[in-house]
Chain A
Amino acid sequence: MFALLSTISWRHVRRHRLRTLLTFVGMALGVAVIVAIALVNRSLSTSFQSTIEQIAGKAVLQVSNAESGIAESIFPTIRDTEGVQYAAAAVEGFLPVSGVERERLYVLGVDLLTDSAVRDHQFTDSGFAFDQALDFIAQPDSIALTESFARRFGLRIGARITLGTSAGKQSYTVRALLKEQGTARVFGGNFALMDLPAAQRAFGKEGKLDIVDLTVEEGSKIEAVQERLRLRLSGMADVERPKKRGEQIESLLTSFRVGLFFVSLIALFVGFFLIYNTVAVSVVQRKREIGTLRCLGMRRGELLRLVVSEAVILALAGAVAGCVLGWALAQAALLAVGETVRNLFSSIALAGSSLSMNELALALASAVGVALFAALHPAVEAIRISPLENARQAAWRPVFHGSKSWATRLGFLCLVVAPALVFFAPSVAGGVRQFSLGIVGMLVFLLGLASFSPLFISFAVRQFQRCAAGIPGLSWAETRLALDSVMRNPLRSGITVATMIISLAAIFTIAAFINSVRGSLLAWVDQMVTADIIVSSGARTAGPRNVSLREDPLPGLKALPGVRVVDLYRLVRANYQGRPIVVESFSAVESASVRTLPMAEGDGTKALREMAEGKGAIISESFQRRFGKGTHDTIELATPSGPVGFKVLGIYVDYSSDIGSVLMDRALYKKYWRDDLVDAFDLWLEPGADMQAVIEKIKAAYGEKYQLFVSTHRELRDAVVKIMEQSFVVNYAVEIVAIVVAIFSVINTLLASVLDRTREIGVLRAIGATQAQIRRMVLLEAASMGLMGGLLGLFAGTIMAYHHVVYNTKVLTGWTFQFYYPYDTALFALMAAVLLCLAAGYGPAKQAAAIPIVSAIGYE
């Protein structure tokens, strides 16, 4: 086998360098996307876990209640629970560094005297002893920074640093420097230590704790202590191991990660067609050589192994290059994904990581698996080639049996299986599984439609010829011969059209999905955020980057001329049934007259009124889907005041989070959460008020102190769209891969077609066809494949996009999106398909026109 590979196969590869290179690059790109996404997913997973574990230090149990916090008064209860060895209370969060854009410090507020029992804080001054710790605590403006952070900003002991806190800008004195060891390693050294009360003041969390880290006495069972604590806390907080808590936070990203996986699946699918195309074209090209080999006694099995081995070796080479490229791509993707995660989910530093054996195996196995599968059919076609082939004059081509061909049969099978999968999907348990089945259904449908390509080509070309349609600027003969060439080998042309269908469908599905998300999101923002001006700190939108403020600016804002209503919006992450959710609140009493609430179920006005009366809460679609709760049910939430039951007043649409949201009146929220912080001040103006003047006044009065973002409704919309587009950045990478693969496929097929028709082209030249006419014929062949692939790709993409927007997204996130058809993208995609094919056909067309007539006529 090796001898055959090194002689026959290797020489074929060398003779067709361009085609080999195109396939190699296409495969490398496909594998690169898979590897990059695997790396990003691992980084997402490990970054959350390692951050939580680093902060947890030696703690084996953690008492927390997400961002809702726990009342400080229950700390003694926790500490004194039987089996607890040490208890270290902390508050935590991010504070922006004043005067340095986008720079944020993770601040951990602890009791410095007792915290070392749980966390290892290494100070650069080895003599940082008890007295210094007391001195640190005694001065409420004390802060300890990491060496690297201090070095970056030229801060020494005694220097001042200003942070944006809930009470506005606050200046702190650097009184200690930390070595980047243990906890201080988190967030790339953007870590600061404060005394607990100082940190509570900075975050506006007086009387509350975010977390209590515990170690357990020797001889005590962790599970037993955990159970004891749960009983004593009776629903006021969760008691979990750090790993489990990491998993809880990581679960925020489930939909995002599943979405990424879906993207890599598309890359794999497109890669499959590229390999199939290459091997199939290679078999067509080498039929005479294969006939000779068979004549010389090569057995079918040997031939099969040879063809498959060639594909596998090429795929492996592509995969190795893809691994390197994927690693580089992952570093870029991590920046983009990190931005999305920080915008939408949690402040986390995504660590770039090297390729593990698992990812390497995944990449190689994907490539080999795809190559084996893709090469099998062309290899079977190859072994059917007769030993007499080397003596034949007519060009060999795989037999296409029209509606009875294997491709058409496969198409029919897929079109039966695909709806069955989609129909069956809702009956399996779990959103991720339903989503996955839905995706598989979509891909099977796509495969089915692609399998109809040869039949479609035959049908379309016949219809075109039957209606004797002409193409302006081309003679009848040019049109006829170009289309004849497409139809003469429907299987070969079909592979290209199929690749076009798959590439275009993938691109269009992603584009239509993004368009629908954008459309739905903007419509939702218009309904949900009716305020004229939104005032926030730290970020324009409420989320992990946002700094929660105290209510202090409220009276001043209300007193501003032209301001009609000021409402306070608050968003915190809480837990429900051990899974993270979001609790949103605003004062329905204040703003019911100017607000609208997009409802998925129930009357918005009534729900708002009942909410203002404190009768219960409204839940989001995602919450309904995740927890199976509906209107009139009661949900019990863990609040800092203990567990509280809330009656569900209705279901509202909330695209800000897919983990499930609960919306309640601010008064109710403040009562149970003991929290008067604000994430955004929503302002409605009097009719005719000068918005710009109001904005200027707000900035003048509070802007400097609070590092405010004062946004108009339009600016908020723009910010939301920007965050959304950022979150789809990885999808664009797949679109590029799909486009590249489609181009490669067209070039591949046309090169083979030109080679296959060398004699015919020679004859045409001999009887008087000009080089320009030959070029036009090949280009028309390319354009017609582009048009057919484009039309079918759009058709498939439309169905897939609708299914993805309306069904898949719903089962994964609970969100109901409106389907917004991207007409402009459709038109652009169709034109691009034709133009790209024309561009791809240029090289082969030039090659065809330059064929030497004499050798072409003697080609056979």
Chain B
Amino acid sequence: MIRCTDVRKVYRQGDTEIIALGGVSLEIPRGVFAAIMGPSGSGKSTLLHLIGGLDRPSDGELLVDGRLIAQMADDEITLFRRKRVGFVFQFFNLLPTLTAFENTALPLVLDGRSKAQAGARARLLLAKVGLEKREHHLPEEMSGGEVQRVAIARALAFGPPILLADEPTGNLDSKTGEAILSLLRRINEEDGCTVVMVTHSNEAARYSHRTIFLRDGRVEKEAA
């Protein structure tokens, strides 16, 4: 499902080269819930962004869902993000002017689905995350946990085979965080969706099948 072979990511700042990933090789099979851990600056988020097609590797081979990220054109990679990958962010990143329902339906509408089609799917997903009664609320009218659940529902709009979560509980209290992690685990188990989660928290990592430790842009160790 996800295979990194000596993936490198180098940023340039003026004349300085910043090596975010210094040659990462790993494999995450389909249906696995993987946690990526490591100290700040270890390259966790960079790796997640590369897997999700938000950025492109400087070198190495990155195969996601059978496709080479580096070789995809911008429109192709956009469609890949839209349909094959779901994102959940630490700061939720819902659009503040859209309701829970509209936020959830957004990727489908961007894909040109009719409002009715998108709406039906959005309702289903909101029910799945337990927010069917909150669909007409704006993000600012909901709690952090609810907002993150909407973000998860949005990420599942196309039923993607891969769900990427960047510190999904980093902005939540522990109880709410646990509920979110349980939800992610349930999605992983029920839908067979591969989940890759970046986290600082050992508690959160416990929900995963595998934990990958990064340090200075390289895989330090892996734990089952």
Q: Which residues of A contact B (CB under 8 A)?
A: 393-394, 475-478, 480-481, 484, 487-488, 759-760, 763-771, 773, 852-854, 857, 860
Contact = CB atoms under 8 A, between A and B. Distances in A.
Nearest to B154: A767
B28 interface: no
A484 B97 CA distance: 6
A394 B154 CA distance: 20
B52 A767 contact: no
Interface stretch (B78-86, B190-198, B208-216): B78-86
Interface residues of B, number: 31
Contact of A476 (B46, B54, B91, B115): B115
Contact of A857 (B78, B93, B102, B110): B93
A857 B48 CA distance: 13
Nearest to A488: B97
A770 B95 contact: no
Given A475-B110, A853-B54, A854-B55, A767 B81 contact: yes
B112 interface: yes
Nearest to A770: B78
B87 A767 contact: yes
15 contacts: A476-B115, A477-B110, A480-B102, A763-B93, A764-B95, A764-B110, A766-B52, A766-B54, A767-B154, A768-B110, A770-B74, A770-B78, A773-B110, A853-B55, A854-B49
A475 B81 CA distance: 19
Contacts of B78: 765, 768-771
A754 B155 CA distance: 24
B189 interface: no
Contact of B95 (A475, A478, A760, A852): A760
B192 to A, nearest CB: 21
A767 B109 contact: no
Interface in B6-49: 46, 49
A753 to B, nearest CB: 13
Contact of B109 (A477, A487, A770, A852): A477
Contact of B112 (A393, A475, A481): A475
A509 B124 CA distance: 56
A860 B97 contact: no
B102 A766 contact: no
Q: Which of B83, B102, B105 has the most CB of A within 10 A?
A: B102
B208 to A, nearest CB: 22
B106 interface: yes
A759 B95 CA distance: 10
B89 interface: yes
Contacts of B81: 765-768
B55 A767 contact: no
A475 B108 CA distance: 10
B98 A767 contact: no
Interface in B100-128: 102, 105-107, 109-112, 115
Most chain A Cβ neighbours within 10 Å, of B46, B52, B75, B93: B93
Contact of A477 (B54, B74, B91, B106): B106
Given A770-B110, A854-B46, 19 more contacts: A394-B96, A475-B112, A476-B115, A477-B110, A480-B98, A481-B95, A481-B98, A484-B98, A488-B97, A760-B93, A763-B93, A764-B106, A766-B93, A767-B155, A768-B110, A769-B78, A854-B55, A857-B54, A857-B89
Best-buried of B79, B81, B105 by chain A (most CB within 10 Å):
B81
A712 B209 CA distance: 97
A756 to B, nearest CB: 12
Contacts of A484: 95, 97-98
A462 to B, nearest CB: 12
A767 B97 contact: no
B54 A769 contact: no
Most buried by B among A394, A760, A766: A766
A854 B154 contact: no
Contacts of B55: 852-854
Main secondary structure of the interface of A (DSSP, over half): helix
B7 to A, nearest CB: 15
A767 B106 contact: yes
B86 to A, nearest CB: 8
Nearest to B83: A768
Contacts of A769: 78, 82, 110
Contacts of A488: 96-97
Contacts of B154: 767
B82 A767 contact: yes
A765 B110 CA distance: 10
A478 B111 CA distance: 11
Contacts of A852: 55
Given A771-B74, A857-B89, A475 B109 contact: yes
A853 to B, nearest CB: 5
A202 to B, nearest CB: 81
Contacts of B52: 766
Contacts of B107: 767-768
A477 B112 CA distance: 9
A488 B97 CA distance: 8
Contacts of A768: 78-79, 81-83, 107, 110-111
B121 to A, nearest CB: 14
A763 B98 CA distance: 14
A767 B110 contact: yes
Nearest to A760: B95
A313 B16 CA distance: 36
Nearest to A483: B97
A767 B155 CA distance: 8
Nearest to B112: A475
Nearest to B84: A768
Closest 5 CB pairs of A and B: A768-B82, A484-B97, A477-B109, A763-B93, A853-B54
Contacts of A854: 46, 49, 54-55
A766 B109 contact: no
B95 A766 contact: no
A768 B46 CA distance: 19
A784 to B, nearest CB: 15
Contacts of A393: 91
A394 B95 CA distance: 11
A12 to B, nearest CB: 20
A237 to B, nearest CB: 79
A763 B89 contact: yes
B52 to A, nearest CB: 7
Contacts of B54: 766, 853-854, 857
A852 B81 CA distance: 14
A767 B91 CA distance: 15
Interface centre among A475, A487, A767, A857 (most CB of B within 10 A): A767
A476 B111 contact: no
Nearest to B82: A768
A633 B54 CA distance: 88
Contacts of B106: 477, 764, 767
Contacts of B112: 475
A477 B108 CA distance: 9
A393 B94 CA distance: 13
A476 B109 contact: yes
Contacts of A860: 91
Given A766-B81, A768-B81, A768-B82, A759 B109 contact: no
A852 B98 CA distance: 23
Interface in B117-162: 154-155
A759 B81 CA distance: 17
A398 to B, nearest CB: 16
B91 A766 contact: no
A477 B102 CA distance: 9
B220 to A, nearest CB: 23
Contacts of A759: 93
A481 B99 CA distance: 12
A20 B205 CA distance: 49
A155 B87 CA distance: 90
Contacts of B49: 853-854
A476 B115 CA distance: 8
Contacts of A766: 52, 54, 81, 87, 93
A854 B55 CA distance: 7
